[in-house]
Structures are given as structure tokens and as C-alpha cells.
A and B are shown apart, each in its own frame.
Chain A
Amino acid sequence: MAKGIKKTGVPSWEELKSSPGLPDADRLEEGPVAFIECVQEIPCNPCETVCPFGAIEVGSPITNLPKLYGEKCTGCGLCVAACPGLAIFKVHKNYTNTTSLVEFPFEYHPLPKTGETVRCVNREGKFVVEGKVVKIRNSKQFDATALVTVEVPKKYFLEVRSIERKR
């Protein structure tokens, strides 16, 4: 099976790992951090302009891939809401001893409710595991892009990227 973003619409691990947008292994241990899954050179930089801490650099030309400076990232999540590609996530690996948090942008109605148990999916939309919604952020500044945070078993924090849409 051919892999990769051009073929499947899903970035492969190789593409993700060789992109400059992922935090390194040490940073992942340390608390919430942005996880940028933007692997194609497109003319775009709202992630860079929105970050209050200068933790993302696109620079010039504007088609550069966004680079994450993990040590500067506070995990505020503003970039998750601002990215028009919905390509940024926020992960908190060591939320508890056994669970992680994954925050992702969600633009479908209805929104899930805090406390609800939801079906979490991977990058291919396939069911991975059930998780619990621990937070929903939907401020005016986000302009209708809600940020949903789910708590999932730790081993899935690199896999869970959304939830099933309700119909």
C-alpha cells in the first residue's frame, strides 16, 4: 500500500517525524505541548502569527514548514484553533500515570458535552478507543472552531486525533 499525504490524505509517520513541527521525546514528557502535523509546503502562517510565545516559526518564504520550538511552547492551544488546515493538536502525555490528554479542533454540530464518553478515532477516521471529554473551549476568538480535549489511555496519545461525528 502506498503511503503518505499525497496518496492517502494522511501524513505517514516518516513524513511526520521528518517535519520540524513535532516536539521531541523529552518535551513530550514535560506537559502539554503543540503537535504540528503540517508536512506540505503551502503558503500559510497563521500558526506563527497567533503564538504569543514565539514558539512557532514559518519565516520567509511563507511556504516553509512550521517549526516548533518545544521549549518555548506553553501549551496554550491558541495555534490549534487558528490553523486553517486543522493540522495542529495539543498533547499532554503524562496527564495521569495511565492517561494522556489530546486536544483537537472540531467544527461539527452538535458538540460533545464535558464528561461525556466518546468514540475516539485516528487520522484515518477509524475507531481507536473510548475516551472522556474533559474540556471544550469555544471562545469568540476561535471563530466557531471548538477545541475538544479527550482523556485517553496513554498508549494512544499519538494515535487519537478526533472523535466520531454525531449524526
Chain B
Amino acid sequence: MKKTQVAIIGAGPAGLAAAIEVARAGGEVTLLDENHKPGGQLFKQIHKFFGSREHRAGTRGFRIGEKLLEDTEKLGVKVLLDSPVYSIFKDFVIGYISDGREKAIQAERIILATGASENALAFPGCTLPGVMGAGAAQTMINVHRVLPGKKIIMVGSGNVGLIVSYQLLQAGADVIALIEAAAEIGGYGVHASKIRRAGVPIYTSYTIQEVIGKNSVEGAVIVGLDEKWKPIKGTEKLIEADTVCIAVGLSPLAELAWLAGCEFAFVPSLGGHVPKHDRNMETTIKGLYAAGDLTGIEEASSAMEEGRLAGIACAESLGLYSKEEARDLKEKVWARLNTLRTGPFGKKRRDAKDKLIEMMEGGADIG
């Protein structure tokens, strides 16, 4: 069987950053991803990112991805693409598919960075062609360069719903309504302002009642909600549209962590069930680390920092860094992570993360 020192599953920002840290410390890394191209979510992100200079703020997402790839190549990280991992067996044997065949590779350490998947929403008509996830629509316009439709209703006002709406406008479509069940817009105001200036109406306290159409989407009925999220009779509106995009949140893609036997915690503000981990991003299974959206839905900037932490800790556990060296490196990453997790949007996540880490008794501490 093939062997590797560190296997990293998922080549998004978290996995790539982890790979770079392990390789920089002198470790030997194999990075596996199911896609044809590494980069995870980053290659769909054509907008300029937030953050600070260290996070290359103001740079468009896909360029951040290009830089990470360049670094992994320079450091000689082995990348296995088109290789979905289907299980983790005893003794860190990883089962994956390649060229239509089952293969296996055994690792001394594993870092899971599988990201997240889009939540679905059930309503009459939700299976009609033309109803799709916002992420799928984003892949169509920014990767494959096809428009999913011309008249689009977006459901959900988190950053994903707001940003994908903006990118649909840029691609030449019309977003005729963005609806949000909550009383307030979920994502950053500046993203909402962009699409408002372009004339997109935002309906807060509204939900989608049904999508109508014979063979594909022809329109949708939206309805107002009261404070208890109950539909208000008489507020129904029929809106003509050919596409309905759903952006109602992401859930950590945690199957592999379940299969490996990690202990989980249910943390709604992080997106649902997440594997417990300590300040080293090590799960309840020794030698198995997790990072990025898998451990809580956040952002590419925090995914990269978590990947770095996992990479540094992993290298330390392999003796590639001394305890002191690792501590200094990790402290720097934590300082940046903590600044990312401030403000009204970030603080909730920081509190949730702190609690998650507290749950790990006897977990290694960087202090």
C-alpha cells in the first residue's frame, strides 16, 4: 500500500494552507481532492475579499487561490486530483477512488479539510428545473461561464446570497427579488448596498411559498412572515422568474470525521454538527486534525488560519518543530484568528469556537 507522512483531504483554502505549513516544516504531504482542480470554493470567488493585509484583503478570491497553489507546488506537495475519499479505516488507511478504481493510502497523520455543503429548502415546486443552490449558480457563471437564467429570485440574505446575486448581475442576469425570512439582512451591509444600488429589492420577513411552472420555473409566490415566522394571509405576491436560487446556509461536510469516529458537538452558530477539536485543531482522535468550514462555517481567511494551525501542530507532533518553535508560530496564527473573530459578525463565532475548544478536556494548549 502507498504510504505518506501527512494526508490532507480537501484542497480548499484550509487544506492548501495546512499543506504549505507541513511541507515548509519539512514534512512529506499528500493532498487529495475530488475535483479536477484544487482551490475549493476559492475559484468561484471573483470578488475582492475582506480582511487585513495578512489575509490579502482587497484581492479577488481566485487570485488568493492561485498564490496558495503556487506555494504548494514550490514546496513539492503531492496533489491527487479527481480523487474522492470515501472512508477512513483503521490505522489511518484512507480509501479513495481514482480512475474509477478503489485505492488506498496510509498516513501517519491526517488533516480533514472537506469544507461544507449547501443546505436545501423544501417547498412545493422545489424540484422543478430552475431551482438550484446559489453555489451551483455561482459555479455556472464563474467557472463554466453560462447563465442559469435571466430573471432570478434569490432566497437568503447571508453573504452567499448577497454575493452571488451581485455576481449574477455582473454576468448579465436580472435579480428581481432577494427574499429573507428573518427580519434583518444576514450578511454584510456593504454587500447588500451593492445590489440595492443596482436596483435589486430586498424583502425581509418574506419566504417562498411555492414555485410554479409546468416543466420549469415560471414564477414564485412569496409571502410575508410575522414575528413568529407564520405566513401572513393576504401578503402573497406572485413574481415572474425563470430561476430560483437557494442560499439558506451551509453545513459542515463531516461524513469522513463521523466515519473516523470523531466526537461531535452541535453548535448552531457554526452551522450544525462539528467535530470537537482543541487549540491545535486536533480532534478527539489523536493524529487526526480538522480545519476550515468543516469545523464551523466561517470564511476563507479563517479557514486558511485554521489550516495553518493544523499544519504547524501536525509538524510539531512529528518532531519537525520544537515545542518552542511551534508555540511561537501558533501564537501568531491565533492572534490573527482572534482579530478576524471580532465585531458583531465575528464575535458569535469566537464565543462558539471557545466553547467548542473548552469541551476538549486535557486537549493540548499552546500557552
Tell me the A residues contacting B by CB distance below 8 Å: 5-11, 37-46, 49-50, 60-63, 82-87, 107-109, 121-126, 143-145, 161-162, 164-165, 167
Whether the pair B52, A45 counts as a contact (CB closer than 8 A) is yes
Among B59, B174, B192, B195, max chain A CB count under 10 A is at: B192
**In whole angstroms, how far apart are the Cα atoms of A60 and B340 in the complex?**
11
**In whole angstroms, how far apart are the Cα atoms of A42 and B57 in the complex?**
12
Whether the pair A84, B189 counts as a contact (CB closer than 8 A) is no
- Counting CB contacts under 8 A, is B345 at the interface? yes
- Counting CB contacts under 8 A, is B214 at the interface? no
Known: A43-B50, A84-B48, A145-B48. A61 touches B343 (CB 8 A): yes
Known: A42-B343, A124-B196. A9 touches B189 (CB 8 A): yes
Whether the pair A46, B195 counts as a contact (CB closer than 8 A) is no
Whether the pair A38, B190 counts as a contact (CB closer than 8 A) is yes
- Counting CB contacts under 8 A, is B361 at the interface? no
- Nearest CB on B from A5, distance (A): 4
- Nearest CB on B from A14, distance (A): 14
> How many interface residues does chain B have, given as a range?
35 or more
Q: Which stretch from B16-24, B117-125, B197-205, B217-225 is at the chain A interface?
A: B197-205
CB-CB nearest in chain B for A38: B190
CB-CB nearest in chain B for A105: B194
Q: Which of B57, B170, B174, B184 contacts A84 (CB 8 A)?
A: B57
- Nearest CB on B from A45, distance (A): 5
Chain A residues contacting B339 (CB-CB under 8 Å) are: 43, 60-63
Whether the pair A107, B50 counts as a contact (CB closer than 8 A) is no
Whether the pair B189, A5 counts as a contact (CB closer than 8 A) is yes
Q: Which of B169, B197, B342 contacts A63 (CB 8 A)?
A: B342
A–B pairs, 6, beta carbons within 8 Å? A41-B345, A42-B50, A61-B343, A62-B342, A84-B50, A125-B196
Chain B residues contacting A46 (CB-CB under 8 Å) are: 48, 53, 57-58
Chain A residues contacting B195 (CB-CB under 8 Å) are: 9
Whether the pair A43, B51 counts as a contact (CB closer than 8 A) is yes
Is chain A's binding surface mostly helix, strand, loop or mixed?
loop
Tell me the B residues contacting A by CB distance below 8 Å: 47-53, 57-60, 169-170, 172, 174, 183-185, 188-200, 202, 204, 301, 339-340, 342-346
Q: Which of A37, A40, A126 contacts B188 (CB 8 A)?
A: A40
**In whole angstroms, how far apart are the Cα atoms of A77 and B194 in the complex?**
18
CB-CB nearest in chain B for A39: B189
Known: A43-B50, A62-B339. A165 touches B169 (CB 8 A): yes
CB-CB nearest in chain A for B174: A167
- Nearest CB on B from A152, distance (A): 15
Known: A43-B339, A84-B48, A108-B170. A6 touches B189 (CB 8 A): yes
Known: A11-B193, A84-B57. A43 touches B340 (CB 8 A): yes
Known: A49-B53, A86-B190. A9 touches B185 (CB 8 A): yes
**In whole angstroms, how far apart are the Cα atoms of A46 and B190 in the complex?**
14
Whether the pair A9, B196 counts as a contact (CB closer than 8 A) is yes
Chain B residues contacting A45 (CB-CB under 8 Å) are: 52-53, 57
Chain B residues contacting A44 (CB-CB under 8 Å) are: 50-52, 57
Known: A42-B343, A62-B339, A125-B199. A6 touches B185 (CB 8 A): yes
